[in-house]
Structure 1
Amino acid sequence: MKKVCLLLPNGFEAVEASVFTDVIGWNKEEGDGSTDLVTVGTRKELTCTFNFTVVPEMLIEDVQVDHFDALALPGGFDQAGFYEDAYRSDVLELIREFDKQGKIIASICVGALVLGKSGVLQGRNATTYNLENGMRQKRLAEMGATVIPDQPIVIDRNIITSYNPATAFDVAFSLLESLTSLENANHVRKLMGFLPSE
């Protein structure tokens, strides 16, 4: 069973987290059955960007990277305290350890800024939120990433980044494809209505 660690800092955007739970969950029940997902929080109770409250299954201090095959990270809002929580040293160290072990890391929107802050995007291709005059993309470049500004999803070796919430499902399917196969990911896409059924 391939296990995904869904890392949830306080202030994360619920829709960006839910695509991972749904795609991985659909695969577990209706796809090839080879994936599972564990929600991992920085706190016992998390408040999402728009005041949705979540209780994670596990806390970050209990994570053993060896037990997981991939890390998924949604973005969030500054006003909700996302960066304050996501830039914590334990979060950044967890990201470094996943990268050091060559495990897949999938982020959506400004989740890439957290990866940039950790240092894993140094000299690597990536993207992040593309609106607001490219302010976030400039910030990511300052963190050492080579920003590909007009590409919705950028994959550099084991790391997937994307440029806004509209890319969320595509990132989750890219993660599923990396964990299983294109054929299986497309099967789940069809079951979920993203591709026409034959």
Structure 2
Amino acid sequence: MSKTLLLLAEGFEMYEASVFVDVLGWNLIDGDGTSQLATCALRKTIRSTFDVPVTVDVTVDELNLDEYDALAIPGGFIEYNFYSDAYDERFLEVIRQFHANGKIIASICVAALPLGKSGILRGKNATTYNKKDGIRQKTLAEFGVNVLNQPIVIDGNIITSWNPSTAMDVAFELLKRLTSEKQMNMMKEIMGF
């Protein structure tokens, strides 16, 4: 049984979080039954982009990182204070610990930026949000990252992607890495992809 930690920052994008919940949840119920997911944030209740309140399973202060096999992080909007949590040292330390233990880290859109700020992407290939004159890609490059203008970039155990259009593909890639390509393809078929 694998367990993924869905790490949420204030102002996270609901759609980008939901793909991990759905893909891993479908695999738990209709697949091989091996994928669990828990939500986590700096506080018990946070607000997503567009002000939807969410109560998480566990706070960062309550975490036992040894329980988890993978980390998933959705992006979010600056207008909803995403970076206040995403750049918080406690949030960054969770990222560093997963990386130090060689665990899978999957991010969508601007969630690559806290990965960059944490230092785990220095000298690695990655991508992030690619619209609005590439401002987020420039920010990622400032963290010492080799930014590729591609939809999804995988470097070792780290998956980054450039915008919400890649969200389902990132979630399926995470499932593949937790199970197998055969299992991922089976779940795509069952889910109608």
* Structure 1 and Structure 2 fold alike (TM over 0.5): yes
Structure 2 partner of 1:163: 162
Which residues of structure 1 form unaligned runs of 5+? none
Note the 1:33-112 alignment, pairs <5 A.
Answer: 33-112=33-112
1:175 and 2:171 aligned: no
Q: Report the secondary structure of 1:155's partner residue.
A: strand
Q: CA deviation at 1:41?
A: 1.5
Cα separation, 2, equivalents of 1:21 and 1:36: 9
Cα separation, 2, equivalents of 1:5 and 1:189: 22
Question: Which of structure 1's runs of 4+ aligned residues deviate more than 2 A?
Answer: none
Q: CA deviation at 1:42?
A: 1.4
Q: CA deviation at 1:43?
A: 1.0
Structure 2 partner of 1:130: 130
Q: Report the secondary structure of 2:109's partner residue.
A: coil
1:154 and 2:134 aligned: no
Cα separation, 2, equivalents of 1:10 and 1:133: 25
Cα separation, 1, equivalents of 2:51 and 2:190: 31
Q: Report the secondary structure of 1:29's partner residue.
A: helix
Cα separation, 1, equivalents of 2:138 and 2:162: 13
Cα separation, 2, equivalents of 1:73 and 1:123: 21
Check the 8 A contact 1:10/1:43 in 2, yes or no.
Answer: no
Aligned residues: 193
Q: CA deviation at 1:9?
A: 1.0
Check the 8 A contact 1:23/1:172 in 2, yes or no.
Answer: yes
Check the 8 A contact 1:11/1:80 in 2, yes or no.
Answer: yes
- Percent identical among aligned pairs is 56
Q: CA deviation at 1:66?
A: 1.0
Letter of the 2:20 partner, please give it.
F
Letter of the 1:6 partner, please give it.
L
Letter of the 1:108 partner, please give it.
I
Q: Report the secondary structure of 1:84's partner residue.
A: helix
Which residues of structure 2 form unaligned runs of 5+? none
Cα separation, 2, equivalents of 1:192 and 1:173: 11
Cα separation, 2, equivalents of 1:88 and 1:5: 17
Letter of the 2:168 partner, please give it.
F
Cα separation, 2, equivalents of 1:39 and 1:90: 15
Check the 8 A contact 1:10/1:85 in 2, yes or no.
Answer: yes
Cα separation, 2, equivalents of 1:10 and 1:20: 17
Cα separation, 2, equivalents of 1:59 and 1:65: 12
**RMSD in angstroms over aligned alpha carbons?**
0.6
Structure 2 partner of 1:31: 31
**Structure-1-length-normalised TM-score:** 0.96
Cα separation, 2, equivalents of 1:14 and 1:152: 20
**Structure-2-length-normalised TM-score:** 0.99
CA displacement, residues 1-40 of structure 1 (integer Å, 9 cap, x when unaligned): 1000000111100000000000000000011111100001
